[in-house]
Every structure is written in C-alpha cells, then in structure tokens.
Amino acid sequence: MSTLLEVNNVSKRFTMGGLFGRRVVDAVQEASFSLTTDKPEIFTIIGESGSGKTTLARMILGLEDASEGEILFRGKRISRHMGQAERLAFMSAVQPVFQNPFEAFNPLKKIERYLSSTARRFLRTSDRATIDRAMDEALQKVGLSLKEVRGRFPHEMSGGQLQRCAIARALIPNPPLLIADEPVSMVDASLRMSIVNLLRSLRDDLGVSVIYITHDLATAYYISDRIIIMQRGRIVEMGDARTVLENPEHPYSRLLKASVLSTDDAGAGKLATDPGMVDLANAMMGRAGKLVDRQDGRRVRVYDEA
C-alpha cells in the first residue's frame, strides 16, 4: 500500500496583535491521518466554524506552512517554499474546489477563459486543439461539454453548472486528489445532491480521492468513506463515516448530530438543544486529552477524568 497523502502531527498557530491584546490562535493541533493511492475515497472533515478545517485544507494545498509536523504528498514534503517546477507538479496533482461558485468566477470573463488558462499552464502548450480537447474532456467528466459552455459568461449559467465548471477546471491536470472546501454550502438541496453525486462518481469512475469539507452531516453520511470531526483545532473523533455518524461517541460529535435540523417535525418550531449536551461538549473544548482506538475501528478523544 503506498500513501498518497500523509498528515503527520500537524499544528498551526496564528499570532494576532488584536484589540484584546496579543493572542495566539491554535487553529490546528496535532492532526494526523493519511490517504492511500490504492483505494480512492471521500474523506470528510466536519466541525465547528473556525475549528481549523480551512486552515488544514490550506496547508494540504501548500498555501500555508504548518507550525509543527509535516505533510507529505507521495512521500514528498509539501511547503510554501517548493521550487517552481516542484510546485507546478504538486499543483497538478492536488487541486482545490472553492466554496461559492458565483464568487469563484469573474462576471466579466467567459468561463472557458478559466479552463483554457488552467489547461495552458498544466499541459504546457498553447496549441488550440490540444487545449480544446483537454477542456472538453474535463467538462465531459462533470456532465457538460465545451459546446455547451463556449462563449458563455458566469451569469448565463446556474449555480450548479458553475460549480461543475469549477470542478471541471480542477480536473484538467487529472489530479488524484481534490480538496473541496464547502463546495455545496451556497446551493440548494437539489443542486447539492447533483454535486455530491458528481464527487461520488469522480471517486468511483475516475479514481479521484476527495477531501470534502462541509457542515452538512447528511451529505457527509451519504458520500463519505471516512470522516474526521474537529472541535477547536483538534480532531475529536475519526473513523468510518457511517459508524461515526450513526452513533457518535465524543460529546461534541453528539452535539453536532443533535443539532442537525430535522424536517420530521416541520412546523413545530423545534429549535431547542438539550443544554446538558451543550455544556458537556463545551467542557471538552480546548482540552488536550488523547485519541484512543475503539473496537469498531474509530478513534475518539478521551480525557483523564472522563
């Protein structure tokens, strides 16, 4: 088994000189996990707003350096200071997909411009026919075609189509790994499903692994193989997505699941959360504890007296 991505004891600390005095924020603390090349998977990161998910993603993309620990991609260390050739090779293998399809595109530029500049850069060619072929292939993978997209501006496409185009752009260099930070948070349920179904088919049909960052437990359950749950910079629970989400063990994971709004009682105005649950989850916040293995394969953070 060879590893695709290895995150080893990674921490990230930001120092902010703010109004409340100088402050350090431990955005990510001692995160470890790895993905293998043999089995493409959808690896989901879920957790609090501000719990370090985006920071972790940015470190994996080489946009931010870890304060401690290291991240290896195919055995090579990822850093902001990679040489240009090295960076290009790395970027063609690990591609980001951003949150808001409407903001990712400049309204005054035709969509194909994004695709063609990516193709030119990664295929290192300016041959029109080659570029067109690469664009069309990538668009076909997401259920579109160059014919449909050519000549159109972002406002002439729906949010779902734009998000598909953004994913197509990321697919041009044929990367084995996509990092999707909340790719569906801005779209309605119907589009959301078409995008997660697309991520699933990228995994199943093209062997692409996806790191899927989301707040949406339902789609996480629906498509993920493995999941990690983060609270205030720390992984508090990780394992097989179904196992963890069906029966979360850590107090924060339990609170997360209990906070998912259900439609079963539509119209009843149920918005209360069990305060005991909130207190219990808050009590764990910021505490180190340690991750222990459970029989069902998951790992859970436990604390001395807990």
Partner 1 sequence: MSQQSNRDILKVDGLKAYYQMNYFGVEREVRAVDDITMTVRKNEVYGIAGESSSGKTSFIKVLAAAIRPPLRVVAGSATYAFKSGTIDVAHASPEEIEAVRWKHLSYIMQGSMSVLNPVRRIGKTFKDFAQRPLGLSGRAFEERVVHHLSRLKLPPDVLKAYPHELSGGMRQRVTIGLATVCHPEFIIADEPTTALDVVVQKEVLSLIREIQQDMGSSVVFVTHDMSVHANMADRVGIIYAGRLVEEGPTRQMFFAPKHPYTAHLVASLPRIGDTTQRPALEGRPPNLADPPQGCRFHPRCPLAVEKCRTQTPPLEEVAPDQRSACWRWMDVEPLVKPSAPVGVVA
Ligand X SMILES: Nc1ncnc2c1ncn2[C@@H]1O[C@H](COP(=O)(O)OP(=O)(O)OP(=O)(O)O)[C@@H](O)[C@H]1O
Q: Residue 217: is it exposed, middle or buried by C-beta count within 10 angstroms (0-12/13-18/19+)?
A: buried
Least separation, in Å, of the C-beta of 96 and Mg ion?
12
**What distance in Å separates the CA atoms of residue 290 and residue 275, rounded to the nearest whole number?**
25
Binds 191, which of Mg ion, partner 1, ligand X, none (CB < 5 to 8 A, cut-off by type)? partner 1
Binding of residue 194 to partner 1 (CB under 8 A): yes
Least separation, in Å, of the C-beta of 48 and partner 1?
5
Give the nearer residue to ligand X in terms of CB position, either 14 or 153.
14
Among residue numbers 66 through 125, which ones bind partner 1 (CB under 8 A)? Answer: 99, 102
Q: From the list 4, 7, 27, 238, which residue makes contact with ligand X (rule: CB under 6 A)?
A: 27
Binding of residue 47 to partner 1 (CB under 8 A): yes
Least separation, in Å, of the C-beta of 233 and Mg ion?
13
Binds 295, which of Mg ion, ligand X, partner 1, none (CB < 5 to 8 A, cut-off by type)? none
Among residue numbers 49 through 68, which ones bind ligand X (CB under 6 A)? Answer: 49-55
Least separation, in Å, of the C-beta of 256 and Mg ion?
16
Least separation, in Å, of the C-beta of 46 and ligand X?
9
Which residue's Cβ lies closest to ligand X?
54
Q: From the list 2, 20, 124, 304, which residue makes contact with partner 1 (rule: CB under 8 A)?
A: 20
Give the nearer residue to ligand X in terms of CB position, either 31 or 196.
31
Angle at 182 between CA 225 and CA 199, to 5 degrees: 45
Residues 12, 55 contacting (CB under 8 angstroms): yes
Rg of the chain over CA atoms, in angstroms? 20
Among residue numbers 50 through 69, which ones bind Mg ion (CB under 5 A)? Answer: 54
Binds 55, which of Mg ion, ligand X, partner 1, none (CB < 5 to 8 A, cut-off by type)? ligand X
Give the nearer residue to Mg ion in terms of CB position, either 100 or 174.
100
Among residue numbers 237 through 266, which ones bind partner 1 (CB under 8 A)? Answer: 245-246, 255-257, 259-266
Query: C-alpha distances in angstroms, 287 versus 7, 28, 227, 231, 248?
Result: 21, 13, 21, 10, 19
Give the nearer residue to Mg ion in terms of CB position, either 161 or 163.
163
Q: Which residues bind partner 1 (CB under 8 A)?
A: 16, 18-20, 47-51, 99, 102, 156-161, 182, 185-194, 197, 215, 217-219, 221-222, 245-246, 255-257, 259-273, 278, 281
Q: Which residues bind Mg ion (CB under 5 A)?
A: 54
